[in-house]
A and B are shown apart, each in its own frame.
Chain A
């Protein structure tokens, strides 16, 4: 800013600090809760400062049987399940939408736009809408309680196809013509030119889709009955209801804390590419 108005600066900082506090407070409470023992968490004013049981809770949650007194799956197994599901969904979505966008933009075939709009219309059919028929199909294919069952029904993605189509449309035609004169066939062009040119968009989409996959709740809840296949997001809810006594907040909050780590890691690791992918227009 060119103006120098100290009161305005102070005011904007107060607002910024307030905003950060509002966002950060629940996370702080989650962290604090994960560092106390079970009994302390049930006493009236909830603690605002960390206690001394962090490593104990950590071990019990990650490698032990989770809630004390139950035989639920250890959290590392759920993290693994969630990780597998999120990676399969994001990887699968990116691969399929890249190929379909490639077909729609660069090939002439009958009903090309028809197919494009058909893909587009599936935007109106998220998993919640088609949950019964999809479940029926997955069950008949014998994919219940498997990673395939968790991820395949969520892989088709109109949004990603549409996004890659837009990205490909910004790549000048001369790039294709030049590659043709260089003797590159369609798949060569796809690998050598298109994929590197959409690198940042792929990264941005990966971040979004990884979090989308990680946060899946309804679908895993429906098709997993085996506790070994439980994902971490659904387990948090189950933990609340599992014990008949009062909830063990220290364990539940530790689980929540662990559930946050992979998405945060993905966002931080890919932040630079992510921002580039969403903002850069220069091809």
Chain B
């Protein structure tokens, strides 16, 4: 068990800086998800914590040790890789025991730990098989088992579910979460999937282009996104954005309509509205010319443009809605559901 501190962490390849001054504190037993689009540096950050990438500057501490120059094996961590990285020529038992064997644990201890981990993960009956005789989900469990037997103070997951099919992914997601709660081991989990991030993490670190956009609980990220990027990344379907003029009397939409409410900001801004916060209302101020409908069963997505403009809009409506392409639907939105962002810095404007 350990806390992790990242302070002023920088990674550069030659002159190209890929991670810029990352700061973050992770509490003991916390489940942190690092999420961002591909190429944002999230895997690099994880691999720096693991010790597989060198640190250009700054400090990583696990517990109260600075681990910058420690070998991965000495950092008291375990990692689950995207392709599992099981040794193909070893049986499941040997795979799980390999690290313990190198650490010269007594054979009885190794057997006990492997058997316990196998029990937890329900893979006891596969212990003598080779990885290639297992299905994707079973391999995933073995990779987890290999991490568990080490009894590390930190688990690192590098997109461990991305090679599984959708159904198995949901199931394994829950299992990882339960397992982490049960073992209480501090974990860092990297993914590009925002649903996975929202459901797994105690807190999320949203990375974009090597910068931390926001670091907070899933609900904080959803309710008060710190930037346009976070607002667009978290939540599905993505948030709608409209260029607006803000004045003391309210928000002026590009259509010329005014959403009343008081705002401290004046001038141009970007308005964000989540599709699920658009409420059908025949007298609503927001009109959408629908050109495509997606029926999801529980709700319906109406895609179109803001009436009279080219601005794309999506609304998510509960239940079934059938409509002709080209019809206009009107919506209203509660003023506390509006998000305003600075049109230059893309940062949140607090009202």
Which A residues form the contact surface with B (CB < 8 A)?
A: 172, 174-175, 177-184, 188, 192-193, 196-197, 199, 282-283
Contact = CB atoms under 8 A, between A and B. Distances in A.
A194 to B, nearest CB: 10
B52 A177 contact: yes
Interface stretch (B59-67, B83-91, B208-216, B295-303): B83-91
Interface in B295-316: none
Contacts of B166: none
Nearest to B104: A183
A234 B81 CA distance: 56
B73 A181 contact: yes
Interface string B19-63: 000000000000000000000000000000011100000000000
B85 A192 contact: no
A114 B74 CA distance: 34
Interface stretch (B9-17, B95-103, B226-234, B270-278): B95-103
A175 B87 contact: yes
B52 A180 contact: yes
B102 A188 contact: yes
Interface in B78-128: 78-79, 81-83, 85, 87-89, 98-99, 102-103
Contacts of A282: 132
A20 to B, nearest CB: 37
A183 B102 contact: yes
B69 to A, nearest CB: 14
Most buried by A among B74, B82, B98: B98
A187 to B, nearest CB: 12
A179 B51 CA distance: 13
A175 B78 CA distance: 14
Contacts of A181: 50-52, 72-73, 77-79, 99
Given A177-B52, A180-B72, A172 B102 contact: no
B223 interface: no
B102 A177 contact: no
A174 B89 contact: no
Given A180-B52, A196-B89, A282-B132, 19 more contacts: A174-B81, A174-B82, A175-B87, A177-B50, A177-B72, A177-B81, A178-B87, A181-B52, A181-B73, A181-B78, A181-B79, A182-B99, A183-B73, A183-B102, A184-B98, A184-B102, A188-B102, A193-B87, A197-B88
B71 interface: yes
Most buried by B among A183, A192, A283: A183
Contacts of A197: 88-89
The A interface is mostly helix, strand or loop, or mixed, namely helix
Contacts of A179: 87
Given A174-B81, A174-B83, A177-B81, A283 B99 contact: no
A197 B85 CA distance: 13
Contacts of B77: 181
B98 A192 contact: yes
Contact of A174 (B71, B73, B85, B99): B85
10 contacts: A172-B85, A175-B87, A179-B87, A181-B50, A181-B52, A183-B73, A192-B87, A193-B87, A197-B88, A197-B89
A282 B51 CA distance: 28
A199 B90 CA distance: 13
Given A177-B52, A178-B79, A183 B99 contact: yes
Contacts of A182: 73, 98-99, 102
Contacts of B78: 181
A89 B109 CA distance: 44
The 3 A-B pairs at the shortest CB distance, nearest first, are namely A183-B73, A182-B99, A174-B85
Contact of B71 (A180, A193, A196): A180
Contacts of A178: 79, 81, 85, 87
B288 to A, nearest CB: 47
A175 B89 CA distance: 12
Nearest to B98: A182
Contact of B103 (A177, A180, A183, A199): A183
B43 to A, nearest CB: 12
A229 B79 CA distance: 57
Contacts of B52: 177, 180-181
A184 B104 CA distance: 12
A197 B103 CA distance: 22
Contacts of B74: 183
A181 B51 CA distance: 9
